[in-house]
């Protein structure tokens, strides 16, 4: 099968199957060989790796992955793409195509079945409408993985790298930075896709930490506090957390914890670092 990274080959496959792009599935297929090569290099895949690809589309990046990795598991939601994938990936015996919704797929189970519970590498040109739930789902379900190399909206990639004081700093930045080291490895303009998205894109590599950079007694509670803080980011931390009605935490609880940490009672969540959120969470765990 000819390389789908070449636009004429992609067009021929789409025409042969009468494929109609589905906007609801965030379908923007890659048609740039340089970008595809760059993703393969930056994901640092070797023949020992088992790669999970989310949303293979017509199998363009899957072909590149199959040439480099030991095994590729791809999960695609759109029924119309399954027969196309079977055809475009027919030459590869190391690819498994799974028809399903990644948000409803038990990735721990896939890892056990196809990789003996050894860490997977995730590589994907993500459907942008569900970028955050996909990333959070992978981290929070503690799937064994060594890295996630993904194409996302440029603005979202920036958000993952930000720290306190930036307007883009938020719950996603903190979650990503708790689990992984983020690094933007390429900026990708709209003309590298078919159809063209109306936003810029970036490839970001998230290298999973073996141990998070901060210690916290109750990870779940810390993330509940973080979500509450940024759901009402213009409010003080005291108000944002107590308004959220989580774990019975009151204004007094938050005020007491802030005082213990030597932080202002009027501080906002956007001013706290990951390590300060961890300490705040530990203080509140002690009170409850």
Residues contributing to the site for ligand SAM (CB under 6 A) = 25-30, 54-57, 60-61, 75-78, 81, 101-103, 125, 127, 130
Closest by CA position to 122, among listed 166, 163, 179: 179
Cα gap 232→140, rounded to integer Å? 23
CB of 95 to ligand SAM, least distance (A): 13
Instruction: Pick between residue 123 and residue 257 the one whose CB is nearest to ligand SAM.
Output: 123
Cα gap 64→59, rounded to integer Å? 9
ω into residue 195 within 30 of 0, thus cis?
Answer: yes
* Structure token digits, residue 114: 């196809």
Instruction: Pick between residue 193 and residue 223 the one whose CB is nearest to ligand SAM.
Output: 193
Residues 6 or more apart whose CB falls under 8 angstroms from that of 166 comprise none
Instruction: Pick between residue 133 and residue 213 the one whose CB is nearest to ligand SAM.
Output: 133
Cα gap 129→84, rounded to integer Å? 23
CB of 63 to ligand SAM, least distance (A): 10
Q: Report helix angle 171-179 to 131-140, nearest 10.
A: 40
Instruction: Pick between residue 122 and residue 237 the one whose CB is nearest to ligand SAM.
Output: 122
Cβ count within 10 A of residue 213: 13
The DSSP letter of residue 209 is P
CB of 99 to ligand SAM, least distance (A): 9
Instruction: Pick between residue 64 and residue 169 the one whose CB is nearest to ligand SAM.
Output: 64
CB of 136 to ligand SAM, least distance (A): 14
Instruction: Pick between residue 25 and residue 114 the one whose CB is nearest to ligand SAM.
Output: 25
Task: Give strand pairing partners of 77.
Answer: none
* Structure token digits, residue 256: 């007491």
Which phi and psi (to 5°) does residue 97 adopt? -100, 125
Instruction: Pick between residue 188 and residue 240 the one whose CB is nearest to ligand SAM.
Output: 188
State the residue number with the nearest CB to ligand SAM: 55
Residues 6 or more apart whose CB falls under 8 angstroms from that of 267 comprise 236, 237, 258
CB of 40 to ligand SAM, least distance (A): 12
CB of 58 to ligand SAM, least distance (A): 7
CB of 26 to ligand SAM, least distance (A): 5
């Amino acid at each position: 099968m000819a390389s789908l990274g070449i636009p004429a080959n992609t067009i021929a496959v789409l025409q042969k199957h009468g494929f109609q792009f589905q906007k609801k599935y965030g379908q923007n297929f890659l048609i740039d060989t340089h970008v595809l090569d760059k993703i393969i290099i930056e994901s640092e895949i070797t023949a020992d790796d088992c790669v999970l690809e989310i949303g293979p589309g017509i199998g363009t990046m899957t072909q590149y992955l199959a040439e480099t990795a030991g095994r590729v598991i791809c999960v695609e939601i759109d029924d119309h793409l399954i027969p196309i994938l079977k055809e475009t990936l027919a030459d590869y015996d190391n690819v498994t195509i799974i028809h399903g919704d990644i948000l409803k797929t038990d990735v721990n189970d896939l890892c056990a079945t196809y990789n003996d519970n050894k860490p997977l590498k995730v590589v994907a040109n993500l459907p942008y409408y569900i970028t955050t739930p996909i990333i959070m789902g992978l981290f929070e379900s503690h799937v064994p993985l060594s890295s996630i190399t993904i194409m996302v909206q440029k603005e979202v990639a920036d958000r993952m790298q930000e720290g306190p004081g930036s307007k883009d700093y938020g719950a996603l930045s903190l979650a990503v930075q708790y689990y992984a080291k983020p690094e933007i490895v390429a900026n990708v303009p709209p003309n590298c896709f078919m159809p063209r998205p109306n936003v810029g894109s970036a490839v970001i590599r998230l290298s999973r930490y073996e141990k998070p950079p901060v210690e916290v007694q109750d990870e779940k509670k810390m993330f509940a506090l973080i979500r509450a803080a940024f759901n009402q980011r213009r409010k003080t931390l005291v108000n944002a957390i107590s308004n959220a009605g989580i774990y019975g935490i009151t204004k007094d609880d938050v005020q007491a914890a802030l005082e213990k940490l030597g932080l202002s009672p009027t501080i906002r969540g956007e001013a706290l670092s990951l390590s300060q959120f961890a300490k705040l969470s530990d203080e509140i765990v002690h009170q409850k």
